Structure 1
Amino acid sequence: MRILLIEDDRKTADFVAKGLSEAGHLCDVLSDGRDGLFQAQREDYDVVVVDRMLPGLDGLSIVRSLRAAKVNTPSLFLTSLGGVDDRVEGLEAGGDDYLVKPFAFSELLARVNALARRPPVQERKTLLRVADLELDLMRRQARRGGQLIELQPKEFTLLEVLMRGEGRVLTKTMLLEQVWDFHFDPKTSVVETHISRLRAKIDKPFEVQLLHTIRHTGYSLHAPG
């Protein structure tokens, strides 16, 4: 899972980023509100964690601007402003959740995972393309070069996750969470087995390889070059 953390308190930012990384997530950290807004609009994140009081642009304005721009990335306010009115103001600005400092990291992680499991359906594409590979989510069909590819349900879901993350490296932990809803390592080769089966169907019959293994890191789906 890819997370954007916009937090100007260095100690808090380091603590949260370290915890998210240890949990298997990719975390980008910015301390300026304007830079954070630009990054959230430019890149594709699963969750944005944002402090309310920031230099450059405050957290409320960041989330309002994202919603106005039709960017529906789930957002979690992380702030010392814990009054009822503060919480209401954050949620009405377009925030999806609100966590008051000081906080337990386990609670933050649980809230982030919960937000990532309910992305805004109305903005999600129903036809995904990477090079000549297509995935039609409405018809539940996969094609490459116009050729129909038969996929099992988990293979289809795995391919969808990989295609939505085109060009990004997705770790085993990330795939276990997003495809199998495992928030722990079951100590099995389920990911490797399904990757092998998927590669045999979408790559081996074709000249150009799209599914790449990144050694000691994970997997990435992208066209070469």
Structure 2
Amino acid sequence: MSRILIAEDEERISKFMEKGLRSAGHAASVVGDGITALDYATSGEFDLLILDVGLPRLDGFTVLGLLRESKVPLPVIMVTARTSVQDTVAGLNAGADDYLAKPFHVEELLARIRIRLRDPRPDDADHVLKCGELVLDPHSRIARVGAQEVDLSTREFALAETFIRHPGQVLSREQLLNSVWGYDYSGASNVVDVYVLYLRKKLGADRFVTVRGTGYRLAAV
């Protein structure tokens, strides 16, 4: 049974989510402000956080930023009534694992949660991943190039991990979106290209090879 924290100040919505989660077999706890959400989220007692953007005391973006600055690995699904592309990108860039616009069906929320709570592969829990000089430790979320440790955001680490689990394999933008962002993305977004650029700057430009018209592959350099 997964333990899920709901940070939502609108009682009608929090009850809707709590009921849906409990019916699906999850244990759900609800808090109504950002300071309490931050306190609970750093307790180590939860497996996932559903985080509303418009919380009192501390807004959702601030809570998320503080969690990521503290290297708290808790998966975060942000929910908000804001539907602009700018808000979505801001949430993802801040380190959210997914972003869900209100109103939404409980089945969609549960599907997003299932993606984020997938059990790690048994042989990966305490095993570093290597490709050439690139080394990732999924357990500690540490990235290294040779002997040098590199600071990656949550999203950057997830994208790098997707590549290193498929070394040499050409991955389409759609595959990367589904794996890292957790949902089928429609529209002419360049979010994958932007994050590949981030990884090239931090981990080495030659590692991430563009396959024209298809996507990218990780090279062992």
TM-score bracket for this pair, using the shorter chain length:
0.5 to 0.7
In the other structure, the counterpart of 1:79 is 80
Unpaired runs of at least 5, structure 1 = 125-225
Deviation at 1:121, TM superposition (A): 2.6
Name the residue aligned to 2:108.
Answer: 107
Q: CA deviation at 1:118?
A: 6.4
Separation in 2, partners of 1:7, 1:88? 21
State the distance in 2 between where 1:91 and 1:10 align.
25
Structure 2 residue 109 is the aligned partner of structure 1 residue 92? no
Distance 1:91 1:11 in 2: 26
1:3 matched to 2:11? The reply is: no
Percent identical: 42
Secondary structure of 2:42's match?
helix
**Which residue does the alignment assign to 1:123?**
140
Aligned with 1:61: secondary structure? helix
Q: Give 1:117 deviation, angstroms.
A: 1.2
43 and 122 in structure 1: CA distance in 2 versus 1, 3 angstrom threshold = closer
Larger Rg: 1
Q: Which runs of 5+ in 2 are unaligned?
A: 121-136, 142-221
Q: Residue by residue, what CA displacement relative to the aligned partner does 1:174-216 show, whole Å, maximum 9, x if unpaired?
A: xxxxxxxxxxxxxxxxxxxxxxxxxxxxxxxxxxxxxxxxxxx
Other-structure match for 1:136: none
Secondary structure of the corresponding residue to residue 100 of structure 2: strand
Q: What CA distance in whole angstroms lies between the structure 1 residues aligned with 2:90 and 2:46?
A: 23
**Count of residue correspondences:** 124
Q: Give the TM-score of the pair, scaled to structure 2.
A: 0.54
What is the rounded CA distance, in whole Å, between the counterparts of 1:101 and 1:15 in structure 2?
A: 12
> How far apart in 2 are the matches of 1:43 and 1:14?
23
Quote the offset at 1:44 in angstroms: 2.7
Distance across 2 between alignment mates of 1:118 and 1:75: 16
Question: Residues 142-221 of structure 1 correspond to what in structure 2 (within 5 A)?
Answer: none
Gap change, CA 1:98 and 1:118, over 3 Å in 2:
farther
Partner of 1:42, secondary structure, is coil
Asked if residue 31 in structure 1 is aligned to residue 32 in structure 2, the reply is: yes
Partner residue in 1 for 2:61: 60
Q: Partners in 2 of 1:96 and 1:117 — Cα distance?
A: 13
Matched with 2:48 is 47
Report the 3-state secondary structure (helix = DSSP H, G, I; strand = E; otherwise coil) of the residue aligned with 1:123.
Answer: coil
